[in-house]
Amino acid sequence: MCVGLSAKVVSVKDGTALIDAQGAKREVSADLLEELEPGDYVMVHAGVAIAKITQSDEDETVDIMENLI
């Protein structure tokens, strides 16, 4: 139901963040996240940054599998 895109924050100004996903750039709303800074990674949905995210999916997968085995 919810196509999300992980992207890097390039700049933040007045509740709007410029994000970069592999070279595709767009302005999205930063109103729903506090203290967003350039260099942060966010999950974007429908033009709104909905979550600050921490690591790559590969790293996380490795952690989960290590716990599982």
Partner 1 sequence: MNEKIKAARDIITNYSGRPLRIMEVCGTHTHEIFKIGLRKLLPENVELISGPGCPVCVTPVGFIDEACWLALEKGCVITTFGDLIRVPGTEMSLAGARAKGAQVRPVYSPMDAVEMARQNPDEQIVFLAVGFETTTPSACLAAETAKKEGLENFSLLTANKTMPNAYAALEGSADAFLYPGHVNAITGTGICEELKAKGVSGVVAGFTASELLTAMAVILKNAESGEPFFVNCYPRVVKAEGNPAAQKLVAKVMEPCDSEWRGLGVIPMSGMKLKDEYAEYDARKKYAMPKITGKPNPACRCGDVLQGKCKPSDCKVFGRGCTPEHPVGACMVSDEGACSAYYQYGME
Partner 2 sequence: MAENTVTLAHGAGGKQTSELISKVFKAHFSNPEFTADDAAVLNIPQDRIAFTTDGFIVSPFEFNGGNIGKLSICGTVNDLSCMGAKPMYMTCAFVIEEGFPMDKLEEIAAAMEKTAKEAGVKIVAGDTKVAGKGQVDKVFITTTGIGCIMDNAHTSGTYAKPGDAVIVTGDVGRHGCTILLARDEYGIDADVDSDCAPLWGTVESLYTVTDDIHVIRDATRGGVGTVLYEIAEQSKVGIRLNAADIPVDPAVKGVCGMLGLEPLYLACEGRLVIFAPQDKAQAIVDKLHEGKYSKNAAIIGTVTEDNVGRVVMETEIGAQTLLPQPGGELLPRIC
Residues paired with 13 in a beta bridge: 16
Out of partner 2, partner 1, none, what residue 13 binds, judged by CB under 5 to 8 A for its kind, is none
Q: Three-state SS for 28?
A: strand
- Nearer Cβ to partner 1 (34/39): 34
Q: Are 6 and 15 in contact (CB under 8 A)?
A: no
Out of partner 1, partner 2, none, what residue 37 binds, judged by CB under 5 to 8 A for its kind, is none
Alpha-carbon distance of 21 to 18, in angstroms, equals 10
In the complex, the residues that contact partner 1 under the rule CB under 8 A are 1-4, 26, 28-29, 31-34, 43, 45-48, 50-51, 53-62, 64-66, 68-69
Q: Three-state SS for 63?
A: helix
Stretch of 19-27, 32-40, 50-58, 61-69 lying at the interface with partner 2 (CB under 8 A)? 19-27
